Amino acid sequence: MTMLVLGIESSCDETGVALYDRARGLLAHALHSQIAMHNDYGGVVPELASRDHIRRLLPLTRQVLAESGCTLAELGGIAYTQGPGLAGALLIGAGMARALAFALNIPAVGVHHLEGHMLSPLISDTPPEFPFVALLVSGGHTQLMRVSGIGRYTLLGETLDDAAGEAFDKTAQLLGLGYPGGPALAELAATGNAGRFVLPRPMLHSGDFDFSFSGLKTAVLTLVRKQGLEQAADIAAAFQAAAAEVLVSKSLAACTHSGATRLVVAGGVGANAHLRERLTHEAAARGIDVFYPRLEFCTDNGAMIAYAGAQRLAARTHPASDLAFTVKPRWDLATLEGA
């Protein structure tokens, strides 16, 4: 079925727009990151994020239309991130999507941000088939899900405190690195000796699929106070090795428990080279295939929203959009209905 869908992502500090066609695939995508703007504050300032989404959405939409050679009149639907995320930022994307859909008399559909991440590997040339286990490591979320199809998700485990991405960012702060901390920490860790310091592996042997990373972060704080920053590279490497071991162990255990031979890894931490290398190696030894998004789609982007929205719009009949809409800053992925 041919349907050209415009995807809009505005849940936090990145503005993403993309065009996806169910027959031709991803036609164009564009992204503006607010990292430079928020760097001076050491984290995302919600009001500044919302204002910047207002500035960026229309120019990015014009850009992807021009790059794809498509026009607004060809759109069959619009997908936007409905949640979870920053309320103000979500409202900007939702407002534009609903207004444009109303003007064009086409349907609009709100997409769960984490569903977009979870389905992002399906945009690749070698997409995984259902069912699979998904490790979601995006921002404030670390979850393991069994995925049987679009909207058919079973929560296997999740973090009880800090998510993996938060632990990376907070550890990077302790080591005097910039915002966002994850990529900077990984770069520093590549020059360090992970075996110099021994850090805890929280809940590694808990017998379930839940996570906890706050204790690991606290252990880094104690180590930094004791050692100072002269050994920052070794501390970064030790932290990265500890976090990766927990993520790998829990993910593969979830696959064994579910009888799954396919594992999807999605979200910003999924771009970490050490995690990818270790997970791919250990999964192969167990006969499990691992699927990752393209690196550019690990962080927030419009392509994953356009793809997820296209699947939902094609699976059921949506009425033409009206002006009423809501956003969901908190939204449990396990509560999503099937397409």
Residue 266 lies in a domain: yes
Q: Is residue 30 part of a domain?
A: yes
Type of residue at 55:
R
pLDDT at 246: 98
Q: Retrieve residue 133's tokens.
A: 């286990």
At 40 the pLDDT is 83
Q: What is the CATH number of the domain that holds 18?
A: 3.30.420.40
Say how far apart CA 274 and CA 279 lie, in whole Å: 8
- Side-chain half-sphere of 125: how many Cα atoms within 13 Å? 0
The residues near 134 (Cβ < 8 Å, ≥ 6 apart) are: 118, 143, 144, 145, 146, 147, 263, 264, 265, 266
Instruction: Look at 336 and 110; give whichever has higher pLDDT.
Output: 110
Instruction: Quote the CA–CA distance of 67 and 64 in Å, as a whole number.
Output: 5
What is the pLDDT at residue 41? 86
Q: How many domains does the chain have?
A: 2
**Domain boundary at 258, 275, 292, which?**
292
136, 224: one domain: yes
pLDDT > 70: what percent of the chain? 97
Characterize 160-174 residue by residue with b for buried, 16 or more Cβ atoms within 10 angstroms of its Cβ, and e for exposed: eebbbbbbbbbbbbb
* Residue 44 resides in a domain: yes
CA 286-290-292 angle, 5° bins: 165
Reported as a pLDDT band with limits 50, 70 and 90, residue 339 is low
In a domain, 150, yes or no: yes
Output 317 or 190, whichever has higher pLDDT.
190
Q: Smallest Cα–Cα separation from 246: which of 189, 201, 185, 285?
A: 201
| Percent of the chain at pLDDT exceeding 90 | 89
Asked whether the predicted pLDDT for residue 48 surpasses 90, the reply is yes
Tens-digit pLDDT profile for residues 207-266:
999 999 999 999 999 999 999 999 999 999 999 999 999 999 999 999 999 999 999 999
Q: What confidence score (pLDDT) does residue 322 get?
A: 65
Cα 25 to Cα 4: distance, rounded to the nearest angstrom: 9
pLDDT at site 49: 96
pLDDT digit string (tens) for 265-284? Answer: 999 999 999 999 999 999 99
Average pLDDT over residues 46-58: 97
Task: State the residue range of the domain holding 51.
Answer: 4-118+298-335
> Do you find a cis peptide bond into 131, omega within 30 degrees of 0?
yes
DSSP 175-218: TT--SSHHHHHHHHHTTS-TTSS----TTTTSSSS-B--HHHHH
Q: Rounded mean pLDDT of 285-302? A: 96
Predicted confidence (pLDDT) at residue 190 exceeds the cutoff of 70:
yes
Report DSSP state, residue 321.
P
Predicted TM-score (pTM) of the model is 0.94
pLDDT at 318: 56
Are 135 and 49 contained in the same domain?
A: no
- Give me the pLDDT at residue 317, please: 52
**267 Ramachandran zone, left/alpha/beta (phi>0; psi -120 to 50):** left
Residue 123 domain flag: no
The model's confidence at residue 140, banded by pLDDT at 50, 70 and 90, is confident
Q: Same domain, yes or no, for 265 and 205? A: yes
* Among 31-45, 112-126, 187-201, 313-327, the least confident range: 313-327
pLDDT bin (cut points 50, 70, 90) of residue 301 is very high
Spatial distance between the Cα atoms of 144 and 302, rounded to a whole number of angstroms:
23
